Amino acid sequence: MDEQDVTHKTTDNDPRKLSPWLVAAGILGVVLLGLLAAFALDRRFRQTVTVEPPLPVAAVVPTSASRTQTPVATPGVTTTPVSSSAATPMPGVTPTLPGGLRLADSPLDREVQAAYLRYWDVLTEANLSLDTSRFPEVMAGRELAQAQQQVEELKAKGKAAKVDVEHRIALAKVTPDEAVVADEYLNKSVYVDPVTKAELKTTSPPIVEKLSFTLRKIDGQWKVVEAVRHD
CATH number for the domain spanning 211: value is: 3.10.450.100
- Note whether residue 176 is domain-resident: yes
d(CA 183, CA 204): 21
The pair phi, psi for residue 8, each rounded to 5°, is -100, 5
- Note whether residue 77 is domain-resident: no
Judged by DSSP in three states, 20 sits in helix
Number of domains in the chain: 2
Clarify whether residues 186 and 93 are in a common domain: yes
Clarify whether residues 216 and 141 are in a common domain: yes
- Domain ranges, residue 187: 84-229
Clarify whether residues 89 and 183 are in a common domain: yes
More confident residue, 56 or 13: 13
What are the pLDDT digits (tens) for 50-103? 333 332 222 222 322 333 333 343 333 333 333 333 333 333 333 345 567 899
Asked if residue 1 has pLDDT above 70, the reply is: no
Clarify whether residues 32 and 104 are in a common domain: no
d(CA 178, CA 172): 11
Clarify whether residues 22 and 119 are in a common domain: no
Clarify whether residues 23 and 105 are in a common domain: no
Q: Which residues contact residue 189 at a Cβ distance below 8 angstroms, ignoring those fewer than 6 apart?
A: 72, 73, 74, 75, 76, 77, 161, 162, 163, 164, 165
Buried/exposed 69-106: b ≥16 CB within 10 Å, e otherwise: bbebbbbebebeebeeeebeeeeeeeeeeeebbbbbbe
- Note whether residue 63 is domain-resident: no
Q: Mind giving me the DSSP string for 57-99?
A: P------TTTB----TT------BPPPHHHHSPPTT---B-GG
- Note whether residue 208 is domain-resident: yes
Clarify whether residues 216 and 169 are in a common domain: yes
Mean pLDDT of 182-186: 95
Q: Mean pLDDT highest for which of 66-75, 101-110, 199-208? A: 101-110
- Note whether residue 216 is domain-resident: yes
Q: Are 227 and 69 in contact (CB under 8 A)?
A: yes
What pLDDT is attached to residue 204?
82
Q: Is 141 left (phi over 0), alpha (psi -120 to 50) or beta?
A: left
- Note whether residue 13 is domain-resident: no
Tell which residue, 191, 168, 180, 182, has the closest CA to residue 81. Answer: 168
Average pLDDT, the chain: 72
Q: How far apart are the first and last CA of the chain?
A: 108
Which one-letter DSSP state was computed for residue 213?
E
Q: Are 129 and 160 in contact (CB under 8 A)?
A: yes
pLDDT above 90: percentage of residues in the chain? 53
Tell which residue, 186, 207, 218, 181, has the closest CA to residue 62. Answer: 181
Mean pLDDT of 95-114: 82
Asked if residue 222 has pLDDT above 50, the reply is: yes
Judged by DSSP in three states, 110 sits in helix
Clarify whether residues 100 and 171 are in a common domain: yes
Judged by DSSP in three states, 179 sits in strand
What pLDDT is attached to residue 97?
52
Q: How confident is the model at residue 201 (pLDDT cuts 50, 70, 90)?
A: confident
pTM, 2 dp:
0.60
